[in-house]
Chain A
């Protein structure tokens, strides 16, 4: 990973993280440039989710360096990091049962200008508009995923982190999410994606990193996916 990180929006270097006593990340290095879509790949338990949560400041014990937009964030609390312009769509989606769809959608406060309006979000996810009054967790899995993505688009965050947005969804909805990511990229969002499905991800991502045992062990551009296919299949065990 000796590539120059100059001009990167997010630069993670030597990131280590712990859950209590268990040491999970052992020095993670990668970067994301403005406007890029970067995907983290890796087997179950490799530390992808932990990496996103560390960037978000949600892991209590972490060390190393996480620079966002030129500023060090490793010691900031997650509310400060959110206000700096990073937003996370968590793996378990995190839809609130005691909030209706509208409340879920408008829960995250707008932290800076540049976010999407509600109408723009409904344009991306028309289903949500029809379900505004429903209890958040009464939505289907796909709709919940749309809600989880939609609600971080309003905030004006520049870096969107999506943790396995296609997990457990039907092919049509996976396509819809793919189109959404492409459109977000067009509008200038920077996206850090965690994905198991690298074939799907190769359509939206500019670059890949591969994680193994709490480290980034490889990285290549989407264009080089074919050349790296065999290696990748070994990494992922598919």
Chain B
């Protein structure tokens, strides 16, 4: 039983990252109509930003949690202003190719500088240790990652679905030209949305740094699974990406316990089944 609970926690951790990343992808896709293949690279940059902040500026984990998303988000803003904005109105394929190329370039640069092996990043002192829950030991840091990710995801959902700012975002997703004709600076909103989605990826990167080490290709491997999660959940649904992210993490964890041989493929098997039964994804809108 201990092992099962252990795998469930690992599953929830992965689910947290899936949710944060697919949430950012969904928000970006909604507003920009771009499938952001650079998402994994930004996730990696978030982890590296935390590493740099610690080793070059002496700023620890808590600062990184705040500053890394801001820094990488600013890079996202720059990318949108200088490149992505010119793709408005073109086919999905252009954005996909551009961001894919961007991911290769970013990952290549980091690999050149830092090689392929992982750099260590320690768990912050406040979150070391574990809780004895009676039926298992729950490491504090893992509990923190799960709870914090959930809070960030739900806060994002709340802002988008329940606030005025969110109403602008939803409306601009449907008819940007009309929202602009009401007096709202939609291009700036699009830029900031991209920056926000990228910042979420970077935040996941910081959270992952103490668990997975900091590696130039940490995002490249991970993002493939995240895209499968997005396909299962359906592009564009906010709650859908959160629920699907956590659920698939859990399913992966359960598979690791009951049938370890399938643990790395189970997400893709589910994806294939969902594509057959519901091509728009479980929460996808029919477009």
Seen from chain A, the residues whose Cβ lies within 8 Å of a Cβ on chain B are 56-58, 77-79, 81-83, 87-88, 90, 94, 96-99, 103, 106-109, 111, 155
**Residue A79 contacts which of B164, B171, B175, B184 (CB distance < 8 angstroms)?**
B184
What's the minimum C-beta distance from A58 to chain B, rounded to whole angstroms? 5
CA distance A77 to B176 in the complex (A): 13
A90: chain B residues at CB < 8 Å are 178
Q: Assess whether A82 is in contact with B175, with CB atoms less than 8 Å apart.
A: no
Q: Assess whether B175 is in contact with A58, with CB atoms less than 8 Å apart.
A: no
What's the minimum C-beta distance from B199 to chain A, rounded to whole angstroms? 23
Q: Assess whether B174 is in contact with A98, with CB atoms less than 8 Å apart.
A: yes
Chain B's closest residue to A137 (CB) is B174
8 contacts between A and B (CB under 8 A): A58-B177, A58-B181, A79-B185, A79-B186, A98-B170, A99-B167, A103-B167, A109-B184
Q: Assess whether A155 is in contact with B171, with CB atoms less than 8 Å apart.
A: no
CA distance A98 to B164 in the complex (A): 13
What's the minimum C-beta distance from B157 to chain A, rounded to whole angstroms? 13
Q: Assess whether A82 is in contact with B183, with CB atoms less than 8 Å apart.
A: yes
- Residue B135 interfacial (CB < 8 Å): no
What's the minimum C-beta distance from B115 to chain A, rounded to whole angstroms? 46
B171: chain A residues at CB < 8 Å are 96, 98-99, 107
Q: Assess whether B183 is in contact with A111, with CB atoms less than 8 Å apart.
A: yes
Seen from chain B, the residues whose Cβ lies within 8 Å of a Cβ on chain A are 164, 167-168, 170-171, 173-175, 177-186
Q: Given contacts A79-B183, A106-B167, list 9 more A-B pairs with CB under 8 A.
A: A56-B181, A58-B177, A79-B180, A79-B184, A82-B180, A94-B178, A98-B171, A98-B173, A107-B168
Chain B's closest residue to A102 (CB) is B167
A-B contacts counted at CB < 8 A amount to 55
CA distance A111 to B185 in the complex (A): 13
Chain B's closest residue to A56 (CB) is B181
B174: chain A residues at CB < 8 Å are 96-98
CA distance A197 to B182 in the complex (A): 27
Top 6 nearest A-B pairs by Cβ distance? A82-B183, A108-B182, A98-B170, A78-B181, A103-B167, A96-B171
Q: Assess whether B167 is in contact with A78, with CB atoms less than 8 Å apart.
A: no
What's the minimum C-beta distance from B151 to chain A, rounded to whole angstroms? 24
What's the minimum C-beta distance from B91 to chain A, rounded to whole angstroms? 16
CA distance A56 to B178 in the complex (A): 10
Chain A's closest residue to B186 (CB) is A79
Chain A's closest residue to B179 (CB) is A107
Q: Assess whether A109 is in contact with B181, with CB atoms less than 8 Å apart.
A: no
CA distance A81 to B171 in the complex (A): 19
Q: Assess whether A107 is in contact with B180, with CB atoms less than 8 Å apart.
A: no
What's the minimum C-beta distance from A78 to chain B, rounded to whole angstroms? 4
B179: chain A residues at CB < 8 Å are 107
CA distance A106 to B180 in the complex (A): 15
Given A109-B182, A111-B183: A78 touches B177 (CB 8 Å cut-off): yes
What's the minimum C-beta distance from A49 to chain B, rounded to whole angstroms? 13
What's the minimum C-beta distance from A156 to chain B, rounded to whole angstroms? 10
A155: chain B residues at CB < 8 Å are 182-183
Q: Assess whether B173 is in contact with A108, with CB atoms less than 8 Å apart.
A: no
Given A96-B174, A98-B173: A107 touches B167 (CB 8 Å cut-off): yes
CA distance A131 to B186 in the complex (A): 28
What's the minimum C-beta distance from B187 to chain A, rounded to whole angstroms? 8
CA distance A175 to B182 in the complex (A): 27
Chain A's closest residue to B30 (CB) is A98
